[in-house]
C-alpha cells in the first residue's frame, strides 16, 4: 500500500479486572493466549489470536507512569480503546512512506512482553510507530510491527470454540463523518475511502473501519445499545468472521450468552456481555 499500512493488526480492549475478563471471554467461546506482562510497564494482557488480526485484553497489573492513558480510559468505561495497524514492511520504510504522503510519523520505539508458557517464559518483541492525533481524527491508533511473530502465532491459539477466524471491521461512533474524509483519503488513498448517507468506510486490506453517527448506528442496528459510559468519538463494535455461524450460536447458547440475530447471517452480542464491547459475528 502507498502508506505502508497493510491491515488492522489488533484492537486493544481495556478491562478493569484482567482475570475476570479472561474468564468472561472464555465464556464467549474464545481461547486466550497465556498471560503476558509488558516489560518495564505496569500493564498485562491476554490475547485472542486469529488468522487475521487479534484482540488484546489489556489491564493494569501495577499502576505506574506508563498506564495513565489506560487508567484515564477505564475511569469512564471498559471496552475497545485503540487500534494497532500492521505495517507493510520494515518500520523505517513505513515511516518514509507516511512522510511521503505529507504525514508526520514519530520515531519507532521498542516494546517487549514476557509471555508465560508452560515450558518457560518467552519475550515477543515489537516496533511501534505513532502519528499525530490530528492525522487520524476520531481514532486512537498506532502501527505495530511484530519482530518475533512466531511467538504469537501458535496454531493452538488460533482455534476457538466459537469458530472465530478473523477481525473483519471496527465500528467507530463520531459526531460527523464529513470532516474525516480528507485526512483518511490522505492516509489510505482516495480509492480506499467510500461514503454513503450513513457511513464513511475505510478499507485496509480485507478489513474496514466504519465511521458513523450514533443515530445512524441505532438505525442500522435496532436493539443494539451503545455501552454505558460511551463517549464520542469512540470504538463501539467489532465484527469477527466465524467459520460456521450455527456453531458460534450453539457455543454462545451453551454458555448462556444472550445474542441477537440479524438477517440469518449475523449475530450481535451486547456490550455488557463482553467488557463494554459490542461484538458482531458474521459468516466467513
| Within this chain, domains 5-157 and 164-283 share the same CATH topology | yes
Q: Report the sign of the C-alpha dihedral through residues 54, 221, 272, 73, in that order.
A: positive
Question: Which residue from 135, 127, 82 is spatially nearest to 104, judged by alpha carbons?
Answer: 135
CATH topology of domain 164-283: 2,3-Dihydroxybiphenyl 1,2-Dioxygenase; domain 1 (3.10.180)
Strand 43-49, strand 54-60: pairing = antiparallel
Classify 39 as helix, strand or coil: coil
Residues of the chain with pLDDT under 50: 1
Grid cell locating 174: 463520531
Strand ranges inside 226-275, DSSP E: 234-242, 260-262, 266-269
Q: In Å, how far are 79, 174, 225, 272, 274 from 229, measured between CA atoms?
A: 10, 15, 12, 11, 15
List, edge to edge, every strand of the sheet that includes 200-204: 193-195, 200-204, 207-212, 164-173, 234-242, 278-283, 266-269, 260-262
* Confidence (pLDDT) at 1: 47
What's residue 2's pLDDT?
60
CATH of 5-157, one of 1.10.3720.10, 3.40.1160.10, 3.10.180.10, 3.50.50.60: 3.10.180.10
Cell numbers for 20, please give them: 475476570
Alpha-carbon span 14 to 18, nearest angstrom: 9
pLDDT of residue 67: 83
What ranges do the domains of the chain cover?
5-157, 164-283
Position 270 scores a pLDDT of 98
Query: If you search the block for the grid coordinates 500492521, which residue do you land on?
Result: 86
* C-alpha cell of residue 124: 515477543
Q: What is the pLDDT of residues 183-228, one digit of tens each?
A: 999 999 999 999 998 899 999 999 999 999 999 999 999 999 999 9
Q: What is the pLDDT of residue 284?
A: 82
Amino acid at each position: 500500500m502507498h502508506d505502508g499500512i497493510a491491515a488492522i493488526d489488533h484492537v486493544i480492549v481495556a478491562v478493569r479486572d484482567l482475570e475476570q475478563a479472561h474468564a468472561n471471554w472464555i465464556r464467549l467461546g474464545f481461547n486466550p493466549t497465556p498471560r503476558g506482562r509488558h516489560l518495564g510497564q505496569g500493564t498485562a494482557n491476554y490475547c485472542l489470536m486469529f488468522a487475521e488480526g487479534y484482540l488484546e485484553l489489556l489491564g493494569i497489573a501495577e499502576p505506574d507512569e506508563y498506564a495513565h492513558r489506560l487508567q484515564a480510559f477505564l475511569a469512564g468505561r471498559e471496552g475497545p480503546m485503540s487500534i494497532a495497524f500492521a505495517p507493510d514492511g520494515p518500520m523505517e520504510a513505513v515511516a518514509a512512506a507516511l512522510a511521503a504522503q505529507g504525514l508526520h510519523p514519530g520515531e519507532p520505539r521498542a516494546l517487549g512482553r514476557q509471555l508465560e508458557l508452560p515450558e518457560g517464559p518467552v519475550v515477543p518483541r515489537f516496533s511501534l510507530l505513532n502519528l499525530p492525533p490530528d492525522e487520524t481524527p476520531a481514532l486512537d491508533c498506532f502501527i505495530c510491527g511484530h519482530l518475533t511473530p512466531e511467538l504469537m502465532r501458535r496454531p493452538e491459539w488460533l482455534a476457538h470454540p466459537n469458530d472465530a477466524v478473523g477481525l473483519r471491521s471496527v465500528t467507530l461512533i463520531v459526531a460527523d463523518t464529513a470532516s474525516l474524509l480528507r485526512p483518511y483519503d490522505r492516509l489510505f488513498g482516495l480509492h480506499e475511502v467510500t461514503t454513503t448517507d450513513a457511513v464513511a468506510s475505510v478499507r485496509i486490506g480485507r478489513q474496514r473501519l466504519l465511521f458513523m453517527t450514533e443515530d445512524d448506528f441505532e438505525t442500522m442496528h435496532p436493539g443494539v445499545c451503545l455501552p454505558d459510559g460511551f463517549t464520542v468519538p469512540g470504538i463501539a463494535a467489532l465484527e469477527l468472521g466465524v467459520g460456521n455461524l450455527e456453531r458460534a450460536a450453539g457455543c454462545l447458547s451453551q454458555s448462556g450468552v444472550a445474542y441477537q440475530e440479524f438477517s440469518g447471517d449475523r449475530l450481535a452480542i451486547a456490550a455488557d456481555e463482553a467488557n463494554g464491547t459490542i461484538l458482531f459475528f458474521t459468516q466467513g
